[in-house]
Amino acid sequence: MAASIIGVSSLYHQLPTKPTTLSPSSFISHNKPHLISLPTKLTHHIASSSSSSFVASAVSARNSVITEDVFVGLSLFDDDNNNNKDSSLEEFDNDVINGGVDELAVSKLGLPQRLVETLENRGITNLFPIQRAVLVPALEGRDIIGRAKTGTGKTLAFAIPIIKRVTEEDEENRNRLAGRLPRVLVLAPTRELAKQVETEIKESAPYLRTVCVYGGVSYTLQKNQLTRGVDIVVGTPGRLIDLVNSNVLKLGEVQFLVLDEADQMLAVGFEEDVETILEKLPPQRQSMLFSATMPRWVQKLSRKYLKTPLTIDLVGDQDEKLAEGIKLYAIPTTSTTKRSILGDLVTVYAKGGKTIIFTQTKRDADEVSMALTSSIASEALHGDISQHQRERTLNGFRQGKFTVLVATDVASRGLDIPNVDLVIHYELPNDPETFVHRSGRTGRAGKQGKAILMYTNSQRRTVKTLEQDVGCKFEFISPPGVDDVLGSSAEQVIATLSGVHDESIDFFTPTAQKLYDQQGTRALAAALAHMSGFSQPPSSRSLITHEQGWTTLQMTRDSDSSIKGYMSARTVTGFLSSVYATAAGVLGKIHVMADKKVQGAVFDLPEDIAKNLLSKEMPPGTTITKISKLPALEDDGPANDFYGRFSNRERSSRGGRRDSGSSDSRGGWGGNSRFSLGDEGDNNVRRGGRSGGRGGSSSWSSGGSRSGGSDWLISDRRRTPSSGSRDRNFTGPCFHCGRSGHRASECPKKQDY
């Protein structure tokens, strides 16, 4: 049957102020579902209205189709009918007109007093948009398909109306029998999510009996809980079926069914189990299904098991699928260096708050957690860890006993851990949905959060696709510099100090006084450094390769410089050999900057050599500075490193590629002779995969002593070719005078500066 889409656009004209559109636009065209497209303030009106009975009658009179008449009838928009308004509504209208209240007070919804109290005690005083949108239709008994962004309160969206109905039923019929059968069944795809839903319901309605059942824990305990009598059962499909089959759980009195994260049921292979359970439920019931996406199976479910469902979609075709308040970063890494920069990312971006790192494999989760533990307290969470331990881990994390949780995607869906400051995607997620759900562990309930995506060069396009799919924008960042790490560590230490107990302080005061008298503030500084884990000074890190002990410098040439010619790796090498030959001898990676107006390049030097270089006076027209963020680098060839490096395999398969489109690929200073020299042995030729010159490289490295960093390393001894062989191959312009035929260090005009 054709679907009905309720048009509310004409209502917009009647709203006193311009409404915020919730922009639902997708629509499921089966089984007469109806999509309400509600402007936020209109939803306020409906939900706030004590005339909800009017809505109900209008809805039923219209054969479950909500039309504009329903809203007009609420007399919210019609001045002629103002006399009929109740006072709270009038107040609400005034708020709308004055642009005041944007959320709806829990106390004004006609909810049972004890529910209002528990919600308010939990700090829940106003409904979130999905809760506002679901409330009235749910109270009217409508079947609902709901969709909203992560962390926006979907659990209470279904729980509040259900709790209200069950509570009121109990108030009318005070005979709450021991051994009573459940009236509410909530299906969740994972144990963690089931537990979380249970907690949310229990905390909101402690006076109802809510039991959570899932695999991996004692069957007998759950059996005992169920047989004692229960109002609400939350569980994962597998254990629910076991309990139903053994006749411990009887579903004959279920009036409310909720399928939470329905698409995830499919992802974890619960289709059959879910359908088996649904077949056993009484046909007279209200069903609500929440799903981030609507794969075919979920559509089939809603067709088969939901009655004329109303679709409330607060995401729709909105480009941005992530909750507001989540700031996204992306950082290019390599497989060898990503683990080493993780700790710094946590230190600088989480600033001592909670972080969840997502890995693809259980093994990575274990290894990353182990690697971090030396500096930051962290625990792993994945499917191989026993249920008991998983719960302990989650509780410990919630309570702040450790600050970094390293998890596989098992933890990404639905987990509500308050105040997660940072999410790190250690590897790219498998699909955009997983990205949204992982990232959605932060920035929950209207709070701010950050998510960092780590990617390698070969994944660069995927990152762009992700931006389009999710409708988000990443800020591309470099690994934090030493100053940032030190600054953040110091801040964290100060925060830690404020938690030290007064008695402990008293105990240490005499020693502190003695130290202060002897050394002044140096003593305090030493203590802070030690507490931050910096008993030894931190070594700097290359912005290009992220390797420790290296510093990335930037060299730029003034635009009015008399020196002509393009900037290239050879330019850098040539220049360095003329001003500080030692630096030229140990140069690491070199990249040309993308901005041609700047005429610049970035390059790596060992930390101490970089320091020495920076202390030297440079010839006029050339500036060398230490940088903390990489500028945009040439996108073709070497500059690809900006987004991560080619793997060895990729690199050699691209052997013939030109670098940067510069004529260096013809084989420049030293390059040709070094990489193609027979006396370098097969090793270099094989490692480099080059057939001559630098043309095959995606990045250059001309020596140095890094271990394992670059495939292109050649020892200093080897890389000192005879000047004859060098000069024979030298064809590019001199850095100083711009003429070709000689190197900068041998420039006849060298003495001019």
Ligand X SMILES: Nc1ncnc2c1ncn2[C@@H]1O[C@H](COP(=O)(O)OP(=O)(O)OP(=O)(O)O)[C@@H](O)[C@H]1O
- Residues at the contact surface with ligand X, assessed by CB under 6 A: 123-124, 126-128, 131, 148, 150-156, 200, 414, 416, 418, 440, 444-445
CB of 185 to ligand X, least distance (A): 18
CB of 247 to ligand X, least distance (A): 32
CB of 593 to ligand X, least distance (A): 41
CB of 93 to ligand X, least distance (A): 22
CB of 431 to ligand X, least distance (A): 16
Do β-strands 600-606 and 4-5 pair in parallel, antiparallel, or remain unpaired?
unpaired
Per the CB < 8 A criterion, the answer to whether 160 and 115 are in contact is yes
Choose between 93 and 200: whose C-beta lies nearer to ligand X: 200
Side-by-side strand order, sheet with 550-557: 622-626, 550-557, 600-606, 589-592, 700-701
Choose between 109 and 148: whose C-beta lies nearer to ligand X: 148
Choose between 73 and 316: whose C-beta lies nearer to ligand X: 316
Choose between 143 and 200: whose C-beta lies nearer to ligand X: 200
Cα–Cα dist 188/321, whole Å: 22
Cα–Cα dist 532/177, whole Å: 59
Residue 678: CB partners within 8 Å, gap ≥ 6? none
Q: Reduced to 3 DSSP states, what percent helix, strand and coil does the chain have, rounded to the nearest 5?
A: 45, 15, 40
Choose between 425 and 589: whose C-beta lies nearer to ligand X: 425
CB of 192 to ligand X, least distance (A): 11
CB of 254 to ligand X, least distance (A): 22
Cα–Cα dist 441/620, whole Å: 52
Choose between 153 and 606: whose C-beta lies nearer to ligand X: 153
Choose between 22 and 249: whose C-beta lies nearer to ligand X: 22
Choose between 137 and 151: whose C-beta lies nearer to ligand X: 151
Choose between 334 and 412: whose C-beta lies nearer to ligand X: 412
Q: Which residue has the tokens 């292979």?
A: 269
The DSSP line for 133-174 is: HHHHHHHTT--EEEE--TTS-HHHHHHHHHHHHHHHHHHH--
Instruction: Report how far Cα 209 is from the mean position of its chain's Cα atoms.
Output: 36
Q: Which residues of 458-484 are buried (b: 16+ CB within 10 A; e: fewer)?
A: ebbeebeebbebbebebebbbbbbbee
Q: Work out the angle between the directed axes of helices 129-139 and 52-61 (0-180°, nearest 10).
A: 60
Choose between 193 and 747: whose C-beta lies nearer to ligand X: 193
Choose between 128 and 426: whose C-beta lies nearer to ligand X: 128
Choose between 11 and 258: whose C-beta lies nearer to ligand X: 258
Nearest to 348 by CA among 440, 477, 228: 477
CB of 147 to ligand X, least distance (A): 10
Cα–Cα dist 477/349, whole Å: 11
Q: Which residue has the tokens 């390698």?
A: 456
Question: Which helix (H) or strand (E) covers residue 527, if one does?
Answer: helix 521-531
CB of 196 to ligand X, least distance (A): 7
CB of 187 to ligand X, least distance (A): 14
CB of 206 to ligand X, least distance (A): 15
Choose between 126 and 373: whose C-beta lies nearer to ligand X: 126
CB of 107 to ligand X, least distance (A): 12
Per the CB < 8 A criterion, the answer to whether 237 and 277 are in contact is yes
Q: Which residue has the tokens 């308004």?
A: 85
Nearest to 471 by CA among 320, 695, 647: 320
Cα–Cα dist 610/618, whole Å: 13
Taking CA 316 as the corner, what is the angle to CA 313 and CA 322, rounded to the nearest 5 degrees? 100
Choose between 123 and 252: whose C-beta lies nearer to ligand X: 123
Length of the chain: 753
Taking CA 668 as the corner, what is the angle to CA 664 and CA 670, rounded to the nearest 5 degrees? 145
CB of 410 to ligand X, least distance (A): 14
| 226 φ/ψ angles, rounded to the nearest 5 degrees | -70, -40
CB of 168 to ligand X, least distance (A): 21
Per the CB < 8 A criterion, the answer to whether 292 and 130 are in contact is no
Choose between 267 and 569: whose C-beta lies nearer to ligand X: 267
Choose between 440 and 709: whose C-beta lies nearer to ligand X: 440
Question: Which helix (H) or strand (E) covers residue 716, if one does?
Answer: none
Query: What is the gyration radius of the CA atoms in the chain, in angstroms?
Result: 33
CB of 321 to ligand X, least distance (A): 11
CA-based torsion, 667, 673, 674, 676: positive or negative: positive
H-only helix segments in 6-123: 9-14, 40-48, 52-61, 68-73, 87-97, 113-121
Residue 740 tokens read as 């070709």
Cα–Cα dist 478/25, whole Å: 38
CB of 446 to ligand X, least distance (A): 7
